[in-house]
Chains A and B, each alone.
Chain A
Amino acid sequence: MPIAISEKTIKREFIEKIASLSGQDINRCFQCGTCGGACPMSGEMDAMPRRIIRMAQLGLEEAVSETRTCWICASCHSCTVNCPRGIDLARVMEAIRLLTLRKNENMVEPSKMPAETVKEMPQIAMVSCFRKLTS
C-alpha cells in the first residue's frame, strides 16, 4: 500500500515524542528487516516492525496508529538483541503504546474480563498484561 508523504503528513511532535520516550535514535534504522525475522509474533502482525520504524521516521502518526503491531508485541526483546543498528525496538514499541495509553485509553478492559479467564491466569500474566496494555 503506497503511503503519501507531504509536509502535512509529517508530525514532528510525534517523531520527537517517540525519541524522548524510547531514548532511541530511530533514524539509525536502515530497513534490513532483522527485527521482523527475529520477532516471534511477526506472523500475527499486520505490519512488520521495520515498517513501523519507517513510518515513525517519517512522522506518520496516523498510519502507525492504524496498525496493531505494538499491541501484538509481547516485549520479548528479540528485535532489540538482534538489531544490527543497536536500536532497542522494544522501547520504541513501548513509546508507541504509551502515546495511546496515556490518553486514559485501555487496550484490554480489566472489568470486562470473564471471571473464568481471570481465575485460570497466573498472576504474572495479569500484571504484565495490565502494565503493557492498560492506561
Chain B
Amino acid sequence: MSNHECECATVQQIATGDRAILPKGAKTIPVYVMGKKYEVPETLTIMKAMEYAGFKFLRGAGCRGGICGACPTVYRKEGDYKLHFGLACQTVVEPNMYLAQIPFYPANRASYDIETIEPVAESIHALYPELFRCVACNNCTKACPMGVQVLDYISAIKQGDIARAAHLSFDCIQCGMCASRCMGELPQYHIAQLVRRIYGKYIQPKAEHLRKRVEEIESGKYDATLEKLQKMGKDELEKLYKEREREPDMAPLGTWMPQDTQYL
C-alpha cells in the first residue's frame, strides 16, 4: 500500500504543467489512440497523454480547463461493450483505454433573428422540427460529459417549457456528443442554445438593481472615479485594492455598510 502511494507521489509530479516530462522510474500504462498502442504515464489526462505520445492538437483543444467543449473523447475499456465519454483535458487515462477524439460533429444549426423571434415554444419547434423525431432512447444523456440531463431538456422543449429546458441545459458546453449519438438525428445542443437565448432575452426576470446601476453608470455618475483610477500608478492601485473595505463573509443580507459611502 505504502509502495503504491509512493509511486503515485512520484508520478504526480510529472502531471503538472502543460508538458509532461517523464522522470526515471515513473509508471506507464498502455492506451490505444485510434487503434494504435502507446505507453503513457498514468495520472495524465487524455490530452496530456496524447501530447506525451507525440500528438499535437491543432483542433480539438481549447481552454484545457473543462469548460470550452472542444476536446470531447469517446472511449471504450478493454472487454466492455459500453461507450464512455469525457473531455480529454479532464479525464485521466486508465490502462487499456481505446480512445478517439471527436473535435467536431456535423449538426444542423438553424438561423434566426433573436430580436424578432416570438418567445414561444412553437418558434423553436418550427426552427427544429426534428425535435419530434426523438425516441427517448436517452443516448444523449449517457453521452454527455457534463452530466446534463439532455433527454429531460429535449422533453421540456417538446412540452413547451422553455424555462425548464433553459435551466436543465445550463451546464452544456456545446461539445456535440449528444448529437453524435442521437437516433433521431437531433442537434440537441444547438436547440438548447436557442432556448437559453430566448429565455435570457424574453423570459428570465430582469434584475431591477442591475438596471438602476447601469443607468447610473450611463448617466456619468462614476466617470470621475474611473478617471481617477485610470491615472493611478500600479503601486498606488495595489495599495488601494489591499486596503479596500470588504463585506465580511457570510454577513447577513443588508447588515453591512462601508465607512466610506461616497461611491454609493
Contacts and interface: CB of A to CB of B under 8 A. Distances in A.
Contact of B122 (A119, A130, A131): A119
B130 A123 contact: no
B12 interface: no
A118 B108 contact: no
Interface string A111-122: 101011011000
A118 B125 contact: yes
Interface in A73-95: none
A4 interface: no
A107 to B, nearest CB: 13
Contacts of A111: 108, 129-130
A119 B126 contact: yes
Interface string B119-143: 0001101110110110100000000
Interface centre among A118, A119, A126, A127 (most CB of B within 10 A): A118
A110 B132 contact: yes
Contacts of B84: none
A134 B130 CA distance: 10
Interface residues of A, number: 14
Nearest to A114: B126
Contacts of B135: 131
A130 B184 CA distance: 10
B158 interface: yes
Nearest to A116: B126
Given A118-B122, A119-B122, A123-B158, A113 B132 contact: no
Interface of A: 110-111, 113, 115-116, 118-119, 123, 126-127, 129-131, 134
Given A118-B125, A119-B125, 19 more contacts: A110-B129, A110-B133, A111-B108, A111-B130, A113-B129, A115-B127, A118-B129, A119-B122, A119-B123, A119-B126, A123-B132, A126-B129, A126-B132, A127-B132, A129-B132, A130-B132, A130-B133, A131-B133, A131-B135
